[in-house]
Amino acid sequence: MSLTVNLTSEEVAQIRQITHVHDDSAAVTKAAREYLRLSKLLELKAISGSVDFEDVSAQLEWLELDEIDFPK
């Protein structure tokens, strides 16, 4: 997909420096993808610790051991 982005030459130079990519288009592409990746990480960090779950690992272990007739 093609997209036109209006950036100053200084902004493009900063993006090239930060991404360590010399091609303007490739540098902007890499910066945009990195921005999306970091945005997703921030979303995950925001919900960290807010997901409730019940620890059923002991129950699952007993069920698994029961399936193989492990002595109890």
Average predicted confidence (pLDDT) for the chain: 90
* Residue-range definition of the domain harbouring residue 30: 9-67
Amino acid type, 11: E
Q: Give me the number of domains the chain comprises.
A: 1
Would you say residue 72 lies in a domain? no
pLDDT tens profile 6-37: 999 999 999 999 999 999 999 999 999 999 99
Would you say residue 2 lies in a domain? no
Non-local (6+) Cβ contacts of 72 within 8 A are: 65
Would you say residue 14 lies in a domain? yes
